[in-house]
Structures are given as C-alpha cells and as structure tokens.
Amino acid sequence: MRTGASMSVALTKRVATQAVQTSKGKSKAVHKMAYFGEISVGSPAQKFSVVYDTGSGNLLIPGEGCHDPACMSHARFAQERSSTAEEVNCDASEVVNGQSSDELTITFGTGHMTGKCLKDNICINNLCATGNFVSSIEESSSPFASFSFDGVLGLALDSMAQSPDFSLVSRMVRDELLAEPVFSVFLSDSDAEVSEVTFGQVKREHMASEMFWVPVTRSSGYWEVQIEDIAINDKPQQICENCYVAVDTGTSQLAGPSDIVGKLKDTLNVAEDCSNLKELPKLGFVIGSHILNLEPKDYVDVASMNCQVSLMALDVPPPKGPLFVFGIPFLQKFFTVYDHAQSRVGFAVAKHAGEEPAILMTVDQHERKEGLGTCAQEAAVDARNTPLVSSTSSNNLITTKSLIAL
C-alpha cells in the first residue's frame, strides 16, 4: 500500500506573437504559448522556472559556467554552492575519481545547447527526489535567449530520458513518493482560474465528464496513443488509419503528417479574413470509442483578424513517426492524466470556470467502420524538427523533441 504524497504546482502562461513565413512567401503572425512552473535544485535549494514538458525526458537548466547571453538572462545552477551535487556520466556509466568529462549536446531545429550531467536533490514544492539532470555550459541565442523561463522538466516515459535516473516521474514512482503513480495536467486559457500540474492524484474537480483510459501503444517514450480516425462535425473522414498521437504539454500547436494536415486544412477551409469563423465545423479525433472534439475557437489562431489553423505540418520519420502531436489547444479543452505504472493516458472534458462544458461524444464502432459515422451523445457531467541528443564520451545517440512551443 502506497503512503506517498500528492501535490500541485501552479503554472504560469506565457504568450508571444511570432512572425513566420507562409509557403506563399507572405508573413503571418502566430501565437506561441507555453506554461511553466517552479522547481528547486540543490542544497540549499536554488529555484528555477521550467516548462513541465510531457514531450521530453530530461531536466535541462542553465549552469553557472555558461556565459552565453541566453544563459546570463536566466537563473543558473551553481554546482559549487550545493553540498549535495555530484558529477555523473551522461550515459549512466560509473564516474572515475568523482569527476566526469562527459558532455551532452542537444541540437534543436533553430539552435543547440551543450551541458554536463549532474546528480542532486530535485524538489517540486516539498516533494523531493535525488536524480540526474543536465546543466548547460553553452546555449545558442536562438531559441534560448527568448525564453521567459529558465529550463525544461521532461515528464515523458523512461525511454525518452538518458536513463531512468534522469526521469523525475520514474524516480518518484520507484521511491514510492507519490500516493498514486500518476500526474495530471489542467490548462486554462483564461485568468479566471489557475493552471496546474498535479503529482500523485487525479483532481476530479477539473473534470466535466467521466474519464476514459487509452494505453500507450508504442515504445517511443512519448505519451503516445492510437487515433482511430479524424472527424468533421462528428463524421469520421477515413483519412487516418493507424495514426498515432503524442500528448505534449511542450507544444503550442496541433501538429501532424503533412499529407493529412493538408487535407484537413482544405476541408476546414478557414478564411484568412476570419469571415467564415462562425460557420466552421467541429474538428474531432476518434480515440477508442470517443470523439474528442475541438471547436473553431480551439483550433483557429486569430491574430489581428487574420485567421490561421493551429495545425502544423510535422513529418516525424519512422520508427517514431508518422505522428500527430496534441499540444496546448487540445490540452486546454481536455484534462489529461498520465499513469506511469500502467503506461496509459486518461482523457476527460476539462471543467473551466464560467463556461458551459463540452459534450463528450461516443461513436458506434461498427457504424464507424462502415463509414456512416453515427454518434451517440454522453452527458458532459457523467493536444519541427526532431533534434538529436548525443553523449560525447559514449557516442550514444537517442532521439527526443524540440520545443515547438517557443
């Protein structure tokens, strides 16, 4: 019987507007959004703001030995000021004579960071576990200088981390620090309520429907589940056989294979001048026996009366791809739970203050296969470039994700 604790961390929302070039050579404004909270590292504790990221596996924070502008504008970890800090090898091999010359280089689509691997006390509020993390010694200005937070806390499954000792959730579950081996994410798009990530507990007050569970289907390290199909106004389109999706708190948009994204954009036909915004259909994802619907306000980015679908083409190569990504627009609509022990993801309609909750749809599996798409309603009460990470001493290569959110 578990005797661990549960606790919540309030998340701060950051929205930035970025100009990007379209395929037609025009410039458009895109909203980039991220949610981040606080952690502390070392003895005595040194505080950092980090993105709680279900799409990556390691804790990355700036180190005091990094003098690049991107590091100097953020809190930096001072190894010599922590009485509990130890150097470790990034490939989990034993350190000789207490010092490691090992370094880890992470190359993102728009930049890179290099760091050394350390072990220390890592705390979320008063919930602490000793574990490994990466302290940067070099960071490129792009994209890190524009971050309004210091680093990234990876919450993906163990295979996404350098080793289980780099995975915060794995350590907490292994040491039985949590009342339940789960964490949950509630993201709000308004200032009327607090966004939060909760460890060790499912906060049912954030749920406006019953929750259903879906198993993680592949061993990529992502919280990845299978999509049965994509629906428009509750009618399955039969364009997404054997599709998979990663549920990713570190991504500001929805993303998917370019061929399917192209078809969806053509079908949705969102007018750039927003003239048909009120007539746009629901965009749904069929997962198991449910359709998780997004309204136009959820999947359309409106900037200065310039409307764009918040759906980005992302062609992840095999074996991790092809892959959809459920980023922040999806996660603001649906409350999600991540079960580390049973490797599954729970979904429920999120309950937001002052809003009428959406309806959680169910779909008849036989009729869906026949293409009829008949749906039954269930009462509401009852979701770039793949970077390369390498350890210089071991020449060990693993794959993770870049921060699309930033």
Q: For 50-105, what is each residue's pLDDT tens digit?
A: 999 999 999 999 999 999 999 999 999 999 999 999 999 998 777 888 787 789 88
**How many residues are recorded in the chain?**
406
pLDDT level of residue 146 (50, 70, 90 thresholds)? confident
pLDDT bracket for residue 147 (50, 70, 90): confident
What would the mean pLDDT of 114-143 be, rounded to a whole number? 93
Q: What mean pLDDT is predicted for residues 209-218?
A: 95
> Between these two residues, 369 and 358, which has the higher pLDDT value?
358
Gap between the Cα atoms of 284 and 229, Å rounded = 9
The predicted pLDDT at position 356 comes to 85
Spell out the long-range contacts of 74-78 with Cβ–Cβ below 8 A and sequence spacing 24 or more: 74/147, 74/149, 74/150, 74/151, 75/46, 75/47, 75/48, 75/49, 75/150, 77/41, 77/42, 77/46, 77/48, 77/118, 77/135, 78/42, 78/46
What stretch of H or E contains 265? Answer: helix 258-268
| pLDDT for residue 389 is more than 80 | no
**233 confidence band (pLDDT: 50, 70, 90):** very high
- Return all residues near 25 (Cβ < 8 A) that are at least 6 apart: none
In the predicted structure, residue 386 carries a pLDDT above the cut 70: no
Q: In sequence order, what are the residues at sequence separation of 6 or more whose Cβ sits closer than 8 angstroms to the Cβ of residue 230?
A: 236, 237, 239, 240, 243, 260, 264, 283, 284, 285, 286
Sequential DSSP letters for 272-290: TT-TTGGGPPPEEEEETTE
Confidence bin at 364 (pLDDT 50/70/90): low
Q: Which pLDDT band, with edges at 50, 70 and 90, does 303 fall under?
A: confident
Q: SS3 for 262?
A: helix
Torsion of CA 244, 346, 349, 300, to 10 degrees: -30
Measured between alpha carbons, how far is 318 from 262 in angstroms, rounded to an integer?
20
> Is 321 exposed, middle or buried (CB count within 10 Å of its CB: 0-12, 13-18, 19+)?
middle
User: CA-CA distance, 309 to 142, in Å (whole number)?
Assistant: 25
Mean pLDDT of 162-172: 91
Residue written as token pair 């927003």: 274
Burial of 397 (0-12, 13-18, 19+ CB in 10 A): exposed
Of the pLDDT bands very low, low, confident and very high (cuts 50, 70, 90), residue 277 is very high
Neighbours of 129 (CB within 10 A): 19
Query: Is the per-residue pLDDT at 183 higher than 60?
Result: yes
Distance CA 6, CA 127 (A): 8
pLDDT band at 319, cuts 50/70/90? confident
Assign 366 a pLDDT band (cuts: 50, 70, 90): very low
Give the C-alpha separation, 253 to 76, whole Å.
29
- Highest average pLDDT, of 87-101, 174-188, 381-395, comes from 174-188
Q: Is residue 34's pLDDT more than 60?
A: yes
pLDDT of 24 reads 54
389/386 Cα distance (integer angstroms): 10
pLDDT at site 383: 29
Q: Give start-end residues of each CATH 2.40.70.10 domain in the chain.
A: 7-180, 205-378
**Rounded mean pLDDT of 171-182?**
93
d(CA 194, CA 297): 20
- Rounded Cα gap, residues 100 and 91, in angstroms: 11
Query: What architecture is domain 205-378?
Result: Beta Barrel (2.40)
Least confident of 20-29, 37-46, 366-375: 366-375
Of 333, 316, 347, the closest CA to residue 218 belongs to: 316
Distance CA 217, CA 152 (A): 25
7-180: CATH topology is Cathepsin D, subunit A; domain 1 (2.40.70)
d(CA 139, CA 385): 18
pLDDT at position 304 over 80: no
- Structural contact between residues 212 and 339, judged by C-beta atoms closer than 8 angstroms: no
Q: Average pLDDT, stretch 257-277? A: 93
Task: Identify the residue with better confidence: 400 or 84.
Answer: 84
Mean of the per-residue pLDDT values of the chain: 84
Q: What is the mean pLDDT of residues 248-273?
A: 93
Query: Of the given ranges (69-83, 168-182, 285-299, 380-394), which has the lowest mean pLDDT?
Result: 380-394
* Structure token digits, residue 27: 């410039």
Banded model confidence at residue 16, pLDDT cuts 50, 70, 90: low
By percentage, how much of the chain surpasses pLDDT 90?
61
Catalytic residue IDs: 53, 248
Mean pLDDT of 320-346: 94
